[in-house]
Amino acid sequence: MQEVITRINLQHLKNETHVQFNESANALFVKYNPQTLGIAPLHALFKTAFDREIAALDFMRKSEITAQIFEQDRVRDAVFRGFSDTVKGAIRHFDPAWSEAAERLHNLFRHYGNIAQKTFDDETAAINDLLRELQEKSFATAITLLGLTPWQEKLREENDRFAQLMMDRYRETAQKTPYRMTAARRDTDKYYHAIIGQLENISLAATADISELVRELNAVTDRFKSILAQERGERKRKSEN
């Protein structure tokens, strides 16, 4: 009978959790011997990609700029949420002109959703797009009427500061390590999924008994899917506060 291997969306795991998952998966591949499993060539490619990912993560952990980036992301998230909450609160203003202006801005913010939940680069781009739209006449008039120009400028300032820190880290990374985390993760994921596909083919063809490996790998995957669910829950609670 074909053993079904549990799947997980590796893209949603944080960098540290992503490395932990692949360390656990690789330990099982080694335990059951890639040669015996019939995945030796793919495993060699996976291991090379994973070693690059570990090197990229180690560099990020040692980088002072990385710590500054996380702190700056927290700052701009707080500014964005404060700006959004202020707009939403103005909808209840007693002056109909203020209320209508706030409603117009609130609809724009709703269009962009919870920007603070996006990845670093996606959040930067989304905030830039939002700021560009706020310069359009109808929105600019509403911003001026409600006295929200300081919020608008503060969001621009903190987003620009974040973007500069990211550029500084790219420059630092280029000077000190040949590996980028995003590219390294993408390669690791590619070869992991290739291995899983090969193992499923082996199971389907019944050329080898891999039931024990699959059971252990599924247990690992289920554990990390639980971690992912917890992380999503934490992000959701933070976005609601």
The reported pLDDT for the residue numbered 1 is: 52
Same domain, yes or no: 89 and 114: yes
Residue pair 151/116 in contact (Cβ under 8 Å)? The answer is no
d(CA 50, CA 53): 5
User: Dihedral (C-alpha) 60, 62, 67, 68: value to the nearest 10 degrees?
Assistant: -90
Task: Indicate the residue among 156, 176, 196 that finishes a domain.
Answer: 176
Same domain, yes or no: 79 and 158: yes
Instruction: Establish if 143 belongs to a structural domain.
Output: yes
Same domain, yes or no: 79 and 153: yes
Instruction: Establish if 4 belongs to a structural domain.
Output: no
Task: Indicate the residue among 176, 207, 231 that finishes a domain.
Answer: 176
Instruction: Establish if 94 belongs to a structural domain.
Output: yes
Domain of 48 in residue numbering reads as 10-62+179-240
d(CA 221, CA 5): 9
Q: Could you tell me which residues come within 8 angstroms of residue 90 by beta carbon, excluding any fewer than 6 positions away?
A: 98, 99, 101, 102, 105, 146
Same domain, yes or no: 128 and 165: yes
Same domain, yes or no: 130 and 171: yes
Residue pair 104/227 in contact (Cβ under 8 Å)? The answer is no
Map residue 187 onto helix, strand or coil. Answer: helix
The structure tokens 């801005």 sit at 105
Same domain, yes or no: 89 and 132: yes
Residue pair 173/59 in contact (Cβ under 8 Å)? The answer is yes
Instruction: Establish if 83 belongs to a structural domain.
Output: yes
Same domain, yes or no: 130 and 192: no
Instruction: Establish if 129 belongs to a structural domain.
Output: yes
Q: How many domains is the chain built from?
A: 2
Same domain, yes or no: 52 and 108: no
Q: What is the pLDDT along the chain (241 residues), one digit of tens a residue?
A: 566 899 999 988 888 999 999 999 999 999 999 999 999 999 999 999 999 999 888 877 777 788 899 999 999 999 999 999 999 999 999 999 999 999 999 999 999 998 888 889 899 999 999 999 999 999 999 999 999 999 999 999 999 999 999 988 777 666 666 668 888 999 999 999 999 999 998 888 877 788 899 999 999 999 999 998 887 665 555 444 4
Rg of the chain on CA atoms, in Å:
23
Output DSSP code: residue 9: -
Residue pair 133/155 in contact (Cβ under 8 Å)? The answer is no
Instruction: Establish if 147 belongs to a structural domain.
Output: yes
Same domain, yes or no: 127 and 80: yes
Instruction: Establish if 72 belongs to a structural domain.
Output: yes
**pTM of the prediction?**
0.54
Same domain, yes or no: 86 and 45: no
The reported pLDDT for the residue numbered 35 is: 93
Same domain, yes or no: 51 and 108: no
Same domain, yes or no: 172 and 190: no
